């Protein structure tokens, strides 16, 4: 089975209204639709662009104002998913639950269904700057084209959580990201390649580019990449496609799931099958780690 995916290098710039935001999002979705994509990925924290709308005093909105846009955000992407007949991973959006803020990825199905995956690992930056809370549950999602997982930015830097996603049957990991410098970008990029090799899965990665007049979001350093395992059926660098660094653009590639199944059984290396689960124990409790 094959699926076509598009990853958006979303250009962050100041806007004046939600309608400006909606028009930009629609532009990217229509572009992906022209390429007959079936899945389209927006980056992490791209809805912080809404903070640049500002208040009556002309100052940027605070992060606590973002949850007020949640219904408009959901209505917009539900409409776009239905009209385009695509699965849209609507990047991440900040929501409020029980008095806490969460950085939550949203999956919009063509039939109008919406699923959520909260970011599980929160960076010191998110805690200190925005007092963000961590999600508590890893989920996988069934689609007409197979089972996927959504792990946001910092999440991909933790091998255990991606092992768990693969153990739950995910063949494609979508990774919406937002990084402000080369160091953060390369951490996410390099670990995405590692996770694809370790688990013999595809990783679809993208990030924000450009800049907005909002504290903690003034710099964005990003590049989309569609990443495969490193084995003979795939490109030698494990890279199906990548964007131009820090450019406003869309990157598209086809993912052949049958190749994953092939290399898991008889690849040059069989990293998923050859896991030493007899050795993988929790060194604190002495119990198996549950990743088998």
For residues 230 and 260, what is the distance between their CA atoms, to the nearest angstrom? 11
φ/ψ of 232, rounded to 5, equals -55, -35
In this prediction, what percent of the chain has a pLDDT beyond 90? 90
Active site residues: 44, 119, 153
Do the bridges between strand 114-118 and strand 100-108 make them parallel or antiparallel, or are there none, so unpaired? antiparallel
Report the phi/psi class of residue 169: left, alpha or beta, with left for phi > 0 and alpha for psi in -120 to 50: left
CB-based contact 7:251 (threshold 8 Å)? yes
How many beta carbons lie within 10 A of that of residue 143, not counting itself? 16
Burial 111-122 (b: 16+ CB within 10 A, else e): eeeebbbbbbbb
Round to whole Å and give the CA distance between 9 and 177: 10
- In 3D, which of 40, 259, 228, 239 has the Cα closest to residue 143? 40
Average pLDDT, the chain: 94
Cα separations (Å) of 97 from 45, 118, 133?
17, 11, 10
Mean pLDDT of 105-127: 97
- DSSP result, 231-264: STTS-TTSEEEE--TT-SEEEEEEEEHHHHHHHH
What are the residue ranges spanned by the domains of the chain?
2-266
**For the chain, what percentages of helix, strand and coil (3-state, to nearest 5) are there?**
35, 25, 40
At residue 208, the pLDDT reads 98
**Amino acid 271: pLDDT:** 94
Stretch 107-130: mean pLDDT: 96
Closest to 91 in 3D by CA, of 186, 206, 191, 181: 206
Sign for the CA dihedral angle at 13, 19, 25, 31 comes to: negative
pLDDT of 134-175, one tens digit each?
A: 999 999 999 999 999 999 999 999 999 999 999 999 999 999
**Number of neighbouring beta carbons within 10 Å of residue 216:** 15
| CATH class given for the domain over 2-266 | alpha beta
For residue 78, count other CB atoms closer than 10 A to its CB.
20
Asked whether the beta carbons of 149 and 140 are under 8 A apart, the reply is yes
pLDDT of residue 291 exceeding 80, the answer is no
What digits encode the pLDDT tens for the residues 2-30?
A: 999 999 999 999 999 999 999 999 999 99
Tens of pLDDT, residues 124-133: 989 999 999 9
Query: Distance between CA 75 and CA 260 in Å, rounded?
Result: 35
Give kind and range of the element (H or E) at residue 167.
Answer: helix 159-167
Rounded Cα–Cα distance for residues 197 and 67 (Å):
37
């Amino acid at each position: 089975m094959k699926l076509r995916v598009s990853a958006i290098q979303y250009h962050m710039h100041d806007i004046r209204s939600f309608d400006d935001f909606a028009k930009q999002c629609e532009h990217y979705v229509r572009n992906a639709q022209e390429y007959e994509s079936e899945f389209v990925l927006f980056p992490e924290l791209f809805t912080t662009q809404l903070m640049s709308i500002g208040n009556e005093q002309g100052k940027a909105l605070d992060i606590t104002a973002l949850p007020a846009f949640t219904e408009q955000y959901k209505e917009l992407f539900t409409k776009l998913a239905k009209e385009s007949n695509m699965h849209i991973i609507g990047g991440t959006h900040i929501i409020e639950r029980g008095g806490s803020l969460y950085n939550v990825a949203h999956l919009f199905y063509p039939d109008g269904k919406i699923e959520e995956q909260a970011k599980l690992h929160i960076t010191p930056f998110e805690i200190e700057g925005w007092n963000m809370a961590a999600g508590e549950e890893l989920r996988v999602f069934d689609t007409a084209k197979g089972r996927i997982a959504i792990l946001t930015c910092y999440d991909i830097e933790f091998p255990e959580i991606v092992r768990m996603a693969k153990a739950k049957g995910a063949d494609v990991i979508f990774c919406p990201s937002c990084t402000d410098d080369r160091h953060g970008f390369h951490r996410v990029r390099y670990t995405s390649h590692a996770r694809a090799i370790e688990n013999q899965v595809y990783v679809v990665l993208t990030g924000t580019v450009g800049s907005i007049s909002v504290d903690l979001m003034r710099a964005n350093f990003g590049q989309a990449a569609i990443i495969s395992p490193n084995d003979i059926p795939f490109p030698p660098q494990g890279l199906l496609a990548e964007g131009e660094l820090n450019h406003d653009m869309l990157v598209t590639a086809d993912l052949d799931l049958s190749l994953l199944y092939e290399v898991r059984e008889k690849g040059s290396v069989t990293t998923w099958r050859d896991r030493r689960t007899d050795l993988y124990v929790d060194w604190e409790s002495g119990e198996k780690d549950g990743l088998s």
